[in-house]
Structure 1
Amino acid sequence: MIEKGAGYNVCDPGKITSVKIAKVIEIKAKKGMGTEEDPVREITQYWDLEGNLLIEKDPYLYGEQTYSESKE
């Protein structure tokens, strides 16, 4: 059981409506042209097993936030 303060970012258990374990493909890659406007950096992408991009984490463009591309 995950307890509060155990170093995990957990929602209030009373508000969780669903939990699912899913297989995904994680890709880490270099991105950027090496310019001031577009520096080279490492990004992380998550893809489903059907080849759909689920999310891309780009620390330069989005800081700590993430960009999610929905196909729905």
Structure 2
Amino acid sequence: DLLWLLASNAGRVLSREEIFTALRGIEYDGQDRSIDVRVSRIRPKIGDDPIHPRRIKTVRSKGYLFVKEA
């Protein structure tokens, strides 16, 4: 699932295209916002602040970064 994919690639920015292809097995069309919605639902479940996330960061125009614990 998405959390496993992000955590297993901790410290590396995953593009929406990479995430979409890995989870759905089809090419990302650039319009689908389902990845963003799923990330927004995962953040509170792992105790991440949706306003100022520390674990799953959005990297503008790039994708998502799962931050390794220090």
TM-score (norm 1): 0.25
- Decide which structure has greater helix share: 2
- Decide which structure has greater strand share: 1
Higher RCO, 1 or 2 (CA under 8 Å, sep at least 6)?
A: 2
Larger Rg over CA atoms: 1
TM-score (norm 2): 0.26
